[in-house]
Structure 1
Amino acid sequence: MKSFLTIPLTFLLTSLIGIPSSVDAWGAEGHKAVGQIAQNILQPDVESQVAKLFQDKSFGGKLAPASLWADTIKKQKGSPFAFWSAPLHFIDTRDNPGKSCSVDEERDCPDGVCVVGAIANYTTQLDCENGFDRDTRDIALRFLTHFFGDITQPLHVCGRSKGGNDVPVTFDGRKTNLHAIWDTQIVRKRLQDFDNSLDKYIAFLTSEIQNGTYVSEKDEWVACDTPSRRRRRDTSTILKRAKATTRCPLSWATDTNEINCPFVWESIDENPNLDLGQGYYKAAIPFVDKQLAKGGYRLGTFLNSILTKKC
């Protein structure tokens, strides 16, 4: 798959029709959580490789600060990544969320310009075996650090009402939209359970992965088969076999998309005037916790697989 930098501008302009007005999945807190969880499970040699690849000193060689870059540059005037990179943050599924959910690559992303295609594309560029230079690999790592978070946000794998951007809702008495509460408000309210400390929340999620609630299921998070065919396997083998394809990101997008049926949409469809900062928020917490943990674990496991190579 060729670099998105070589895609004709006219093609990208056409592909932008109908994109959501806001595509900052998880907001800063969520993306930093995904990046730091991944950092927490990196092997020492991989941690060193990550630090060497990042050339922006403001990242400090770390994934968490780098995870915000892709959202910043897509809006930045004069950036070579502005505008055209926006549709890479999501996949507009043409299903019927709330009643039936599915992800179909040919139907929903036939041109590869979506988060599923982006993860496959930048995986190819990051892999040193493919001969890309350091600058290209650096940019690929920045995008991947962000997109591994995007693909776990349910409304970034949903085409209904522009991923919920066009759905007005109330959250703790304030008017907003459905996409925004999943991006930001739910996560920020969740931080109140951890003294408004993102570090404490990240430590909690990391612990749940390493020796808590998620231990028994984390291998499934990085598997790239449908649930009916999934078997326990060595995770590095799974990721190596699936690199440079859409198999893994498509599987992960499907997993995320399922949260839209019925949870994300059911309450809104039944009662559009419901304040989602109450019962809906409490019911959403387990989903949000797990999705952020999945993003971080997948990213860390992926990098442990692909950056251990000696090219």
Structure 2
Amino acid sequence: MFPKITIIAVLAGCTARAIAWGAAGHEIVATIAQIHLHPSVFPTMCAILNFTSPNPSEPPCHLAPIAAWADTQRPKMPWSAQLHYIGAVDDYPSQTCAFPGPRGWEGAKGANVLGGVRNVTDILLDWVVANKAGTVSEYTAANEALKFLVHFLGDMHMPLHLTGRDRGGNSIPVLFSGRKTNLHSLWDGLLIAKALRSVPPQYSRPLPYPQIERSLRGAIYDSYVRMIMWEGVLGEWEQDIPDWLTCPAPASASSATDDALICPHHWATPIHALNCELVFPPALDQPPYNDTRPPPALEQFAQASFSVAADPFLELDTPEYSGVITEGWVIEKLLAQAGLRLAGVLNYLFAEFEDEEARRDLRVGF
């Protein structure tokens, strides 16, 4: 069996794109990761984040407050914009769905979200090695790398951040419950907002798992996290989670970003496929909806709302579209995969183990 990222669940003890998932989505990913962190991760992680908690009954620091930091820094760090997405250029028409195709990806090689995940992980790994050797004394580089890692893992699990088609859906106006928006913004936040309104009332009460409850912060999405954990991570997906964290052997790694422990391209490939299978409905390629995209010269000005009232827009809050996403728990699974993979990377980087075999072992349990 190939090595797998350690995710010991110690619950018993350069064109700017729309923000992936929105702040709530990124914080949900970070909270799911928080639940699965090894206790030995916290001293190092919290020192990097320069955070201490006055309440010993709570985790000493939390990932959620820094989950959207990378988006807030884009104006100050314009070079980072291209690291939030990857523009596949040969994945349309949907029958091809190449990732990448013959022309690869738009932009400079490695300057994308997959390269971003790889780069900041390597920065943190080098910092850990140097810190253990006593050769570093400052945390600035590690602090930024950790914040970027938390964010990029979330971005990578938003399907429209993996395609260059129609600017990742930004150029496709649609309706959702009669509200004019665009395809990217729909996946960015509106689908999560609808899911939050649909959580069964029993999840407003604490679960009988203190390990989960300690990671919740009284946020609007707490009940949603409880539902994902109870029905998904502890329920329907429990047997699938080892596969979520497995990477190919180095000889079969399909990208320079991947190795046997951390493999963003391998993880992203089935997420990208959702663009061809589900995210872009076939009706968008047929009249009259294929005529609603702004002219190429105006794409840079495309916003979430489009002002030409006479143009028809496809309604996507329907049983055939949003209903399939809801029934299939598509959004919830993507958020859970992002959170568990983030926890796996952080545990690999920061957890203390007696030997390398234990470090590479995969144990998910309560």
Same fold by TM (over 0.5)?
Answer: yes
**Structure 2: segments with no counterpart, 5+ residues:** 1-13, 54-59, 205-219, 290-312, 354-366
* Stretch moving more, 143-152 or 271-280: 271-280
Counterpart Cα distance in 1 of 2:97 and 2:85: 16
Q: How much does 1:104 deviate?
A: 2.4
Q: 1:95 aligns with which of 85, 90, 94?
A: 90
Is 1:85 aligned to 2:80, yes or no? yes
Indicate conservation of the 8 Å contact 1:54/1:138, yes or no: yes
Counterpart Cα distance in 2 of 1:177 and 1:145: 26
Q: How much does 1:56 deviate?
A: 6.6
Q: How much does 1:138 deviate?
A: 1.1
Count of paired positions: 273
Partner of 1:4: none
Partner of 1:112: 110
Amino acid at match of 1:63: L
Secondary structure of 1:42's aligned partner: coil
Partner of 1:306: 349
Of Structure 1 and Structure 2, the greater helix share is in: 1
Amino acid at match of 1:29: A
RCO comparison, higher one (Cα < 8 Å, 6+): 2
Indicate conservation of the 8 Å contact 1:168/1:178, yes or no: yes
Percentage of identical aligned residues:
33
| Cα deviation 1:5-26 (Å, max 9, x = unaligned) | xxxxxxxxxxx2xx25x33000
Amino acid at match of 2:28: A
Is 1:63 aligned to 2:63, yes or no? yes
Counterpart Cα distance in 2 of 1:57 and 1:281: 41
Partner of 1:254: 269
Query: TM-score normalised to the size of structure 1?
Result: 0.80
Q: 2:123 aligns with which of 116, 122, 125?
A: 125
Q: How much does 1:270 deviate?
A: 5.0
* Stretch moving more, 249-258 or 102-111: 102-111
| Cα deviation 1:86-108 (Å, max 9, x = unaligned) | 11000001123433212229811
Partner of 1:157: 162
**Structure 1: segments with no counterpart, 5+ residues:** 1-15, 231-238
Is 1:206 aligned to 2:246, yes or no? no
Secondary structure of 1:212's aligned partner: helix
Partner of 1:42: 37
Q: 2:49 aligns with which of 41, 50, 54?
A: 54
Counterpart Cα distance in 1 of 2:42 and 2:230: 19
Partner of 1:291: 334
| Cα deviation 1:14-51 (Å, max 9, x = unaligned) | xx2xx25x330000111010000000110111133222
Q: How much does 1:305 deviate?
A: 1.3
Query: TM-score normalised to the size of structure 2?
Result: 0.68
| Cα deviation 1:150-182 (Å, max 9, x = unaligned) | 000010001101000000101110111000000
Secondary structure of 1:44's aligned partner: coil
| Cα deviation 1:212-248 (Å, max 9, x = unaligned) | 111111111112239xx89xxxxxxxx98445xxxx0
Is 1:176 aligned to 2:192, yes or no? no
Counterpart Cα distance in 1 of 2:322 and 2:177: 10
Amino acid at match of 1:181: L
Partner of 2:241: 218
Secondary structure of 1:169's aligned partner: strand
